[in-house]
C-alpha cells in the first residue's frame, strides 16, 4: 500500500510539498479532508497521473514521488510501474459518463452493502472467473493447434511453390476443402506424380507427322506369275539345268547368223541355233521380263523408315512410344523377311521359268503390323493434340498434383481431424462466452435489484438521477478491483440518504476487495466511521494526521475550527 507522498512540486497549490516526520504514514484506508479550494481535487490528479501513466495536461511541469510497498513511483517512471491505481474524481466522471452524448463506458452499478447480495455476487464473480479461465484455456489450445497447422501448411505449400510459383497456404487450404469428401481418389503413385511434374515443367515442343507404311501384298499377282509357264519346244537338258539354261540364253544373242561357236571356235551343228531359239521363245522372254519387273517392284516393298526420336515427345508419352517402337521394329523385321522370301522365290522362278512355284508362296501376316502402326500414329496424334492445348494440359496437371499434395497433407498431419478439433474448440469458446455474458448480465441485474434500479438497466446516463449518476461512476471505478483507489469528493451534490449509501458502498467494497483507499472530502463526521487514518489539508499543507479518534480529540485550533464548522478553534 501507499505509505507516504515524498514530495510534490509545481502542481497547483502544491508548489513545494514535502512529507515531514511529524506526519504519520498512510494506513490501508485513509481520509484527507479540508475546506473547499484547499487542494483536494488537485491532489487527486496526482493519483490520476499514475493511473493514466502520464502527467496531467494542466500540470505539465509538475514532479512528485509516492512511496508504495518500499517502491517509488514518480514522474520519471509513470509508464513502468506494475501497480493498479484507480481514481474517482470529476475528471473520471467526465471521461466515463458522457451525459450529453447519452452514453457511458461499460460499468457495473453497485449499491449499498448487503450480506446476501455480496454472497450472491461473490459466487457469480467466481463463476465468471472460472468461465474466463476455461475460455482462456480453450483459446490457448485452439491457438496452439491452429499455429501448428498453419506452420505445416506453409511448409507443404512451399513444395508446390517450387514446382509452379506463386503458391501459398491459402490455396492449399482451398484445395483441402475441395477434396474433403472424396479424398482417397486423389492419391497418386510416385510415377504419376513425376509425370505430372514433368508436364508442368515441360517446354513447348514441335508437331510430329504421322507415319505411313505400304504393307499391302498382292497375293493373287504373285501366285499367278509363280504358276505361269511358257509354251515352247523345250530342251529337256536345259529345262532340268537352270544354270545351263541361263548360260545358253545369255550366249544365244552372240551366235545369231553365225556358224562357228564364239567361245570355242568350233563349227556349230546345223539346226542348233534354231532349236535354241525355239526353246527360248518369245513367251519365254516375256515371262522373264515380267518376273524381273515384279522382283524389282517387290524389292521396293521392304519397309525402311526412320521413326521420330523419343525426345520429340512430351514426357508422359515417351514410355508408351518406346514400347510401340519396339513392337513396330519386330513387325517390320518379320514383314521384311517375308518380302525377302518372296523375292528369293521369284528369282528361282526367273532362273527356271518352266517350274511352277505357286505352292511354295507364303504371304506376310500384316494384321499385327497394321495394329502397331495405328498405335504409333495414335500416340503421335495425342502428342500433337496435347501440344496444341499445352497451357490447358499444364493447368490440368497442376490441379491433379495440387489435390494429391492436399491428400498427402491430410495423410501426414491428420488435418481434417485437427480442423474439426479447432471447430469444436471455437464452438466451446462461443458457448463459454455466452455463459459469461449471461453471468455478467445476471450480476448486473442482481445489483440493480438490490439498489432499487431493476427497471433502470436500459436507461441512458442522462436519464438517471444525480444520485444514480454518482453511484454509476463510482461503481465504474471500483469494479476492476484496483490496488489503490482515491475518491475525490465522492458525495458532492448528493442528498443525505444517497451520501450514506455511497459511504456504505465504499466501505463494503473495501472490505471485499481490500484496496488501499484515500478519500478526499469535507463530509464529516460521517466519513470517520469507515476510515483508519485521517489527514487535514489546508492551503496545500497537511496540518494534522492521525486515527479518526485522534483527529476528533485533537486540540489543534485548525482541526477544531474545521470539525466544528467554524464555531470553535482558528482557521489559521
Within 164-241, where are the H helices?
169-179, 190-201, 219-227, 236-239
Contact call for residues 365 and 164 (beta carbons, < 8 A): no
User: What are the tens digits of pLDDT across the range 92-133?
Assistant: 777 765 545 444 444 433 333 345 555 666 677 777 788 888
Q: Which three cell numbers stand for residue 286?
A: 516375256
Q: Which of 530, 511, 528, 518 is nearest to 115 (CA)?
A: 511
In this predicted structure, what is the pLDDT of residue 381? 96
Q: Which of 149, 150, 148, 168 is nearest to 402 (CA)?
A: 168
User: What are the tens digits of pLDDT across the range 295-343?
Assistant: 999 999 999 999 999 999 988 899 999 999 999 999 999 999 999 999 9
User: What are the tens digits of pLDDT across the range 488-522?
Assistant: 887 777 677 777 777 777 777 777 767 788 888 87
pTM (global) more than 0.95? no
- Tell me, letter by letter, the H, E, C secondary structure of 530-561: CCCEEEEEECCEEEEEECHHHHHCCCCHHHHH
Taking the C-alpha atoms of residue 129 and residue 127, their distance in angstroms, rounded to an integer, is 5
> Mean pLDDT lowest for which of 23-32, 76-85, 228-237, 511-520?
228-237
Residue 480 per-residue DSSP state: T
Domain 2-112+451-563 top-level CATH class: alpha beta
Taking the C-alpha atoms of residue 514 and residue 519, their distance in angstroms, rounded to an integer, is 15
Neighbours of 70 (CB within 10 A): 6
Q: Which of 60, 64, 30 is nearest to 47 (CA)?
A: 64
Cβ-Cβ contacts under 8 Å for 566 (sequence gap 6 or more): none
Q: Is the pLDDT confidence value at 28 over 90? A: no
Contact call for residues 84 and 483 (beta carbons, < 8 A): yes
Contact call for residues 372 and 331 (beta carbons, < 8 A): yes
Neighbours of 100 (CB within 10 A): 7
Mean pLDDT of the 58-69 span: 87
Q: Which of 267-271, 361-365, 381-385, 511-515 has maximum average pLDDT?
A: 381-385
Which residues pair with residue 542 across a beta bridge? 537
Which residues pair with residue 536 across a beta bridge? 33, 544
Contact call for residues 106 and 443 (beta carbons, < 8 A): no
**Percent above pLDDT 90 for the chain:** 26
Residue 257 per-residue DSSP state: T
Taking the C-alpha atoms of residue 103 and residue 47, their distance in angstroms, rounded to an integer, is 26
For residues 278 and 34, the model is more confident at 34
Taking the C-alpha atoms of residue 32 and residue 302, their distance in angstroms, rounded to an integer, is 123
For the chain, the straight-line distance linking the first and the last C-alpha, in angstroms and rounded, comes to 32
User: DSSP letters of 56-121?
Assistant: -GGGTT-EEEEEETTEEEETTSTTT----EEEESHHHHHHHEETTTTEE-S-----S--HHHHHHH
Residue 182 per-residue DSSP state: G
Average pLDDT taken over every residue of the chain: 80
User: What are the tens digits of pLDDT across the range 526-539?
Assistant: 778 888 888 888 87
Q: Is the pLDDT confidence value at 448 over 70? A: no
Task: Decide: residue 160, CB within 10 A, 0-12 exposed, 13-18 middle, 19+ buried.
Answer: buried
In this predicted structure, what is the pLDDT of residue 445? 66
For residues 162 and 267, the model is more confident at 162
**Percent above pLDDT 70 for the chain:** 77
Q: How confident is the model at residue 163 (pLDDT cuts 50, 70, 90)?
A: very high
Mean pLDDT of the 264-286 span: 66
Residue 145 per-residue DSSP state: H
Grid coordinates 497549490 are at which residue?
13
Q: Is the pLDDT confidence value at 450 over 50? A: no
In this predicted structure, what is the pLDDT of residue 341? 94
> How many residues appear in the chain?
572
Query: CA torsion sign, 536 to 541 to 543 to 544?
Result: positive
Q: How confident is the model at residue 31 (pLDDT cuts 50, 70, 90)?
A: confident
Query: CA torsion sign, 117 to 118 to 123 to 126?
Result: positive
For residues 493 and 466, the model is more confident at 493
Grid coordinates 483508519 are at which residue?
532
Q: Which three cell numbers stand for residue 444?
A: 448486473
User: What are the tens digits of pLDDT across the range 184-222?
Assistant: 899 999 999 998 998 888 888 999 999 999 989 999 999
In this predicted structure, what is the pLDDT of residue 12? 83
Contact call for residues 343 and 284 (beta carbons, < 8 A): no
> Mean pLDDT lowest for which of 32-36, 84-88, 276-280?
276-280
In this predicted structure, what is the pLDDT of residue 113? 39
For residues 451 and 318, the model is more confident at 318
Contact call for residues 10 and 4 (beta carbons, < 8 A): no
Phi, psi of 400 (to 5 degrees): -65, -40
Q: Which of 561, 560, 536 is nearest to 546 (CA)?
A: 536
Mean pLDDT of the 396-407 span: 93
Three-class secondary structure of residue 3 per DSSP: strand
Taking the C-alpha atoms of residue 4 and residue 400, their distance in angstroms, rounded to an integer, is 75
Q: How confident is the model at residue 265 (pLDDT cuts 50, 70, 90)?
A: low
Q: How confident is the model at residue 230 (pLDDT cuts 50, 70, 90)?
A: low
In this predicted structure, what is the pLDDT of residue 58? 81
Q: How confident is the model at residue 525 (pLDDT cuts 50, 70, 90)?
A: low
In this predicted structure, what is the pLDDT of residue 491? 76
Domain residue limits, the chain: 2-112+451-563
Taking the C-alpha atoms of residue 46 and residue 33, their distance in angstroms, rounded to an integer, is 16
Amino acid at each position: 500500500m501507499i505509505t507516504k507522498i515524498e514530495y510534490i512540486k509545481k502542481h497547483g497549490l502544491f508548489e513545494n510539498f514535502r512529507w515531514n516526520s511529524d506526519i504519520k504514514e498512510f494506513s490501508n484506508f485513509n481520509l484527507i479532508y479540508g475546506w473547499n479550494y484547499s487542494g483536494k481535487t488537485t491532489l487527486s490528479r496526482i493519483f490520476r497521473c499514475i493511473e493514466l501513466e502520464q502527467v496531467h495536461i494542466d500540470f505539465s511541469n509538475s514532479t512528485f514521488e509516492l512511496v508504495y510497498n518500499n517502491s517509488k513511483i514518480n514522474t520519471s517512471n509513470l509508464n513502468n510501474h506494475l501497480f493498479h491505481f484507480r481514481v474517482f474524481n470529476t475528471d473520471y466522471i467526465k471521461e466515463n459518463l458522457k451525459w450529453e452524448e447519452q452514453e457511458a463506458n461499460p460499468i457495473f452499478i453497485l449499491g449499498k452493502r448487503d450480506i446476501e447480495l455480496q454472497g450472491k455476487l461473490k459466487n457469480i464473480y467466481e463463476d465468471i472467473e472460472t468461465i474466463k479461465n476455461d475460455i482462456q484455456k480453450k483459446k490457448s489450445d485452439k491457438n496452439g493447434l491452429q499455429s501448428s497447422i498453419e506452420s505445416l501448411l506453409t511448409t507443404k505449400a512451399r513444395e508446390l511453390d517450387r514446382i509452379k510459383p506463386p503458391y501459398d497456404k491459402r490455396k492449399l487450404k482451398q484445395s483441402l476443402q475441395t477434396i474433403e469428401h472424396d479424398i482417397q481418389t486423389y492419391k497418386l503413385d510416385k510415377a504419376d506424380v513425376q509425370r505430372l511434374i514433368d508436364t508442368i515443367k515441360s517446354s513447348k515442343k514441335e508437331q510430329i507427322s504421322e507415319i505411313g507404311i505400304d504393307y499391302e501384298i498382292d497375293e493373287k499377282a504373285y501366285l499367278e506369275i509363280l504358276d505361269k509357264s511358257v509354251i515352247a519346244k523345250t530342251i529337256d537338258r536345259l529345262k532340268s539345268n537352270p544354270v545351263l539354261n541361263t548360260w545358253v540364253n545369255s550366249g544365244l544373242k552372240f551366235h545369231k547368223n553365225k556358224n562357228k561357236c564364239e567361245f570355242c571356235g568350233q563349227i556349230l551343228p546345223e539346226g542348233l541355233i534354231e532349236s535354241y531359239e525355239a526353246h527360248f521363245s518369245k513367251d519365254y522372254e516375256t515371262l522373264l521380263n515380267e518376273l524381273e519387273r515384279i522382283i524389282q517392284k517387290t524389292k521396293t516393298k521392304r519397309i525402311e523408315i526412320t521413326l521420330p526420336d523419343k525426345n520429340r515427345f512430351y514426357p508422359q508419352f515417351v514410355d508408351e512410344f518406346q514400347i510401340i517402337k519396339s513392337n513396330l521394329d519386330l513387325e517390320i523385321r518379320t514383314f521384311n523377311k517375308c518380302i525377302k522370301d518372296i523375292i528369293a522365290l521369284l528369282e528361282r522362278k526367273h532362273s527356271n521359268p518352266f517350274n511352277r512355284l505357286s505352292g511354295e508362296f507364303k504371304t506376310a501376316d500384316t494384321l499385327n503390323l497394321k495394329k502397331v502402326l495405328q498405335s504409333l500414329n495414335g500416340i503421335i496424334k495425342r502428342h500433337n493434340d496435347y501440344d496444341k492445348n499445352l497451357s490447358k494440359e499444364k493447368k490440368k496437371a497442376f490441379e491433379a498434383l495440387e489435390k494429391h499434395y492436399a491428400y498427402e497433407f491430410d495423410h501426414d498431419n491428420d488435418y481434417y481431424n485437427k480442423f474439426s478439433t479447432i471447430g469444436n474448440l471455437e464452438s466451446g469458446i462461443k458457448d463459454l462466452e455466452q455463459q459469461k455474458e449471461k453471468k455478467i448480465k445476471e450480476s448486473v441485474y442482481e445489483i440493480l435489484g438490490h439498489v432499487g434500479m431493476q427497471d433502470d438497466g436500459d436507461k441512458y446516463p442522462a436519464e438517471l438521477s444525480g444520485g444514480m449518476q454518482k453511484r454509476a461512476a463510482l461503481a465504474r471505478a471500483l469494479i476492476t478491483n484496483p490496488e489503490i483507489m482515491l475518491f475525490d469528493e465522492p458525495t458532492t451534490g448528493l442528498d443525505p440518504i444517497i451520501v450514506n449509501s455511497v459511504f456504505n458502498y465504499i466501505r463494503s467494497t473495501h472490505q471485499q476487495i481490500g484496496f488501499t483507499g484515500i478519500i478526499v472530502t469535507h463530509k464529516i463526521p460521517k466519513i470517520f466511521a469507515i476510515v483508519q487514518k485521517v489527514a487535514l489539508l489546508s492551503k496545500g499543507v497537511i496540518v494534522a494526521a492521525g486515527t479518526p479518534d485522534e483527529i476528533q480529540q485533537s486540540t489543534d485550533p485548525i482541526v477544531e475550527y474545521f470539525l466544528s464548522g467554524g464555531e470553535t478553534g482558528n482557521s489559521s
